[in-house]
Structure 1
Amino acid sequence: MATATSEDRLWMTAALALARRGLGRVSPNPAVGCVVVAAGRAIGRGWTQPGGRPHAETEALRRAGPAARGATAYISLEPCSHHGKTPPCTDALIESGIKRCVISCEDPDPRVSGRGIAALQQAGIDVEVGLCADTARELNRGFFLNKLTGRPLVSLKLATSLDGRIALASGESKWITGEAARARAHLLRASHDAILVGGGTALADNPRLDVRLPGLDARSPVRVVMDRRLQLPVEHDLVAQARIRPTLLFTAKQHDEAVLAGYRESGVEVVACEGADDDSRFPEVVLKALAERGLTRLLLEGGAGTATSFLRAGLVDRLEWFRAPMLIGADGLPGTGRLELESLVQAPVFRREALEPLGEDLLERYRREAA
């Protein structure tokens, strides 16, 4: 785009901040933010609403009202140009009478890609594309991965000692990290569409896999269990509460249909997968199925075997590593298993993006380096 002014950057940064409010709540849609500006003042703000509708642009224009005529709209992703469950956002922008539209990046959805920009330009609106594009693409990386590769973004969350242990040899792990770190982990859950554990972890820890922060209960993600051997009993809390919290169970195909029916009767969506018996294929099969259901952001919470299977398959995009200031030693249980590397060149490499102190603990956030 043409050289951006400091004012342009200010308003696009605001649009991106608004977009982040939708993470974990808007799938299968992207999380988008929009700010309508006139005479140096924001006259309308909007972000994608829960469930993906209304869209950010229509929300911002609704708040701006007639004052939008002649204004500039800053949008974190190319506006949609196709008829879906709502009319195209390009139509709303054109009808509003805005004079200029600054768009951070193109939408990878083939129904939109480039068409939204072209529609605005054909209507005589001055369109500029590319401001804060890298930030916008990273914010909606799950949506981009879903559209371009057929899988969601995968974030691996670990809570360990300084030496990478998640528990004592006895299995004792409550609590390695403190209250501030645990609350932050719940906030992390709220920004993802789904949360996944292995069958062994589900059986051993009896996790609720929900968000337990004041006012955020409704943001609890879809619960996913990878359990090829069906270790999870029908009486387990994750099964018993499946009608309250959407729950998916991925398992192997060889189980008797009468056994699977018990889970389904409790409200669990059971997915019997080809490839579940193959450690190298199971994660990919699960991710493909989740993407087909419109999910764009998946949080892995354990255990070590499940984390390792995704790392081996090269399917972890981000690390959310909570580290406590203690040492457990080599007899403790590690956060990950054997990656069976023959050379350091094969090691997955992540770039640290942030350090966040949480009381005595530390959250280290990493992004996978492109191959």
Structure 2
Amino acid sequence: MTNDSLYMRRALDLAALGRGSVSPNPMVGCVIVHNDQIIGEGWHQRYGDWHAEVNAINSVGAGLASAQQEPISGQAVGRRLAPPLQESTVYVTLEPCSHFGKTPPCADLLIEKQVKKVVICNDDPNPLVAGKGIQKLRDAGIEVITGVLAEEGRKLNARFFTFFEKKRPYIILKWAETADGFIADENKQPLAISCLQSRTLSHQWRTQEDAILVGTNTALNDDPKLNARLWAGPDPIRIVLDRTLRLPRELHLFDNTQKTICYNAFSNEEEGETTFVQIDFDENFLPHLFKDFHSRKIQSVLVEGGSQLLQAFLNDGHFDEIRMFKSPNAIGKGTSAPLLPTGVRFTDQAKIGTDWLTCYRKYE
């Protein structure tokens, strides 16, 4: 592994610490290196807060202090800890921003600090940046290298790239099925299929995605809360499809404890934390749904609906991941689980408590 790859790997690890806290911004990490010594590092920690480059630069003094091998006098501290940014290389996982958003442009900051070199993992697909940050740096005489561990960077920020490149959220289909392939009993009533460890992991996933989606039948039959009560973290936006507005307002989904969107064919209105949004429920309604998601900057959706809704996403090819829990228990008869389409590839399998978790991705 080259030094560039080594330091970029560290920056990617730092970036991942922002998972679940920075959306709709991407996860970004930054490492500053001087004479093959990391002197500063940081990551984008929370949406609206400072970006990774700012946090890394602000940490440079502390990084140098920890690197000292011998005691130094108080008089020497100021001299030896002067940030040598003009002689340093900055490793950042995404092209530094070039526009004013909630914070000033990071490209301008790097130019101001007169850094020697910037190594970038991925170009930014956001049209507000899209190469402008790189060009700014080069125009200022800073050496720029791009594409270091680019595949790993795209995987880390798959939600961000999907949002801008495909104009839809990153979609994860998740369900639990019995050993004999059912996701509910024959009367479509709630059925505890997965074990506690699997349910806890599912709640952890909820804290990492922008929204969670169910259909009318799941809302009616299961009355789910769709929060992350088994794991510490933010609750996702709850999304329910209710074309004819037949769901009773007494359901947990309408308790106004978290942001909820109800897509229907008739009404646009606000009721506390609940928003009713009218869309066209024609035969191919998913693009209408994605268009509204995009306008609301919803970058990822965890679909936990019933077999009919999940199969609609599978049949249309509008998904990125499948996460399927398999219980060791059988029930003999019930509602069949969705059928996997062609064009998916196995990616991983793990034992979670008494269940098996199998993951797939869609071939591109």
TM (norm. structure 2) is 0.87
CA distance in 2, matches of 1:96, 1:183: 45
What residue in structure 1 maps to residue 216 of structure 2? 199
2:163–2:299 Cα contact (<8 Å) kept:
yes
**Structure 2 gap ranges (5+):** 62-81
Query: Could you say what secondary structure the match of 1:327 adopts?
Result: coil
CA distance in 1, matches of 2:90, 2:230: 34
Aligned pair 1:215/2:232, yes or no?
Answer: yes
Query: Could you say what secondary structure the match of 2:328 adopts?
Result: coil
Q: Which of 199, 216, 230 does residue 245 from structure 2 map onto?
A: 230
Q: Which sits farther off after the overlay, 88-97 or 219-228?
A: 88-97
How many Å apart are 1:364 and its aligned residue?
1.7
Q: Residue 305 and residue 64 in structure 1: after superposition, are their counterparts in 2 closer, same or farther (change >3 A)?
A: same
Q: Which of 172, 181, 184 does residue 164 from structure 1 map onto?
A: 181
CA distance in 1, matches of 2:322, 2:11: 26
Q: Residue 56 and residue 335 in structure 1: after superposition, are their counterparts in 2 closer, same or farther (change >3 A)?
A: farther
Q: Which of 21, 24, 28 does residue 24 from structure 2 map onto?
A: 28
What residue in structure 2 maps to residue 336 of structure 1? 338
Aligned pair 1:296/2:328, yes or no?
Answer: no
What residue in structure 2 maps to residue 107 of structure 1? 124
Q: Which sits farther off after the overlay, 202-211 or 142-151?
A: 142-151
CA distance in 1, matches of 2:117, 2:163: 30
What residue in structure 1 maps to residue 7 of structure 2? 11
Which amino acid is 1:128 matched to?
I
Q: Residue 166 and residue 195 in structure 1: after superposition, are their counterparts in 2 closer, same or farther (change >3 A)?
A: same
Q: Residue 46 and residue 335 in structure 1: after superposition, are their counterparts in 2 closer, same or farther (change >3 A)?
A: farther
Aligned pair 1:67/2:83, yes or no?
Answer: yes
Query: Could you say what secondary structure the match of 1:302 adopts?
Result: coil
How many Å apart are 1:215 and its aligned residue?
3.3
**How big is the alpha-carbon RMSD for the aligned residues of Structure 1 and Structure 2?**
2.1
Aligned pair 1:251/2:254, yes or no?
Answer: no
Q: Which of 46, 50, 55 does residue 46 from structure 2 map onto?
A: 50
What does residue range 255-334 of structure 1 map to in structure 2 within 5 Å? 264-273=270-279, 275-276=280-281, 278-280=282-284, 282-329=285-332, 331-334=333-336
What residue in structure 2 maps to residue 342 of structure 1? none
How many Å apart are 1:283 and its aligned residue?
1.8
What residue in structure 1 maps to residue 151 of structure 2? 134
How many Å apart are 1:173 and its aligned residue?
4.8
Deviation per CA, 1:189-242: give whole Å up to 9, x if none. Answer: 1110111111211121111111124532xx1111111111213212222112x2
Q: Residue 47 and residue 359 in structure 1: after superposition, are their counterparts in 2 closer, same or farther (change >3 A)?
A: same
CA distance in 2, matches of 1:31, 1:162: 37
Q: Residue 139 and residue 229 in structure 1: after superposition, are their counterparts in 2 closer, same or farther (change >3 A)?
A: same
CA distance in 2, matches of 1:63, 1:9: 22
CA distance in 2, matches of 1:213, 1:47: 27
1:199–1:227 Cα contact (<8 Å) kept:
yes
CA distance in 2, matches of 1:187, 1:128: 36
Q: Residue 302 and residue 62 in structure 1: after superposition, are their counterparts in 2 closer, same or farther (change >3 A)?
A: same
Q: How many residues align?
A: 343
Q: Which of 352, 356, 360 does residue 354 from structure 2 map onto?
A: 360
CA distance in 1, matches of 2:303, 2:17: 21
How many Å apart are 1:20 and its aligned residue?
2.3
Q: Residue 123 and residue 313 in structure 1: after superposition, are their counterparts in 2 closer, same or farther (change >3 A)?
A: same
CA distance in 2, matches of 1:270, 1:129: 44
How many Å apart are 1:67 and its aligned residue?
2.8
Deviation per CA, 1:87-116: give whole Å up to 9, x if none. Answer: 111112222332221111111112211111
What residue in structure 2 maps to residue 151 of structure 1? 168
CA distance in 1, matches of 2:277, 2:84: 48
Which amino acid is 1:23 matched to?
R
Structure 1 residue ranges (4+ consecutive) displaced by more than 4 angstroms after TM superposition: none
Which amino acid is 1:232 matched to?
L
Q: Which of 197, 208, 215 does residue 180 from structure 1 map onto?
A: 197
Query: Could you say what secondary structure the match of 1:109 adopts?
Result: coil
Query: Could you say what secondary structure the match of 1:51 adopts?
Result: coil
CA distance in 2, matches of 1:306, 1:189: 19
Query: Could you say what secondary structure the match of 2:59 adopts?
Result: helix
Deviation per CA, 1:309-346: give whole Å up to 9, x if none. Answer: 222222111111122223344x2212227x9xxxxxxx
How many Å apart are 1:12 and its aligned residue?
1.5
How many Å apart are 1:68 and its aligned residue?
5.6
**Structure 1 gap ranges (5+):** 340-346
Identity %: 39
1:193–1:298 Cα contact (<8 Å) kept:
yes
Which amino acid is 1:248 matched to?
I
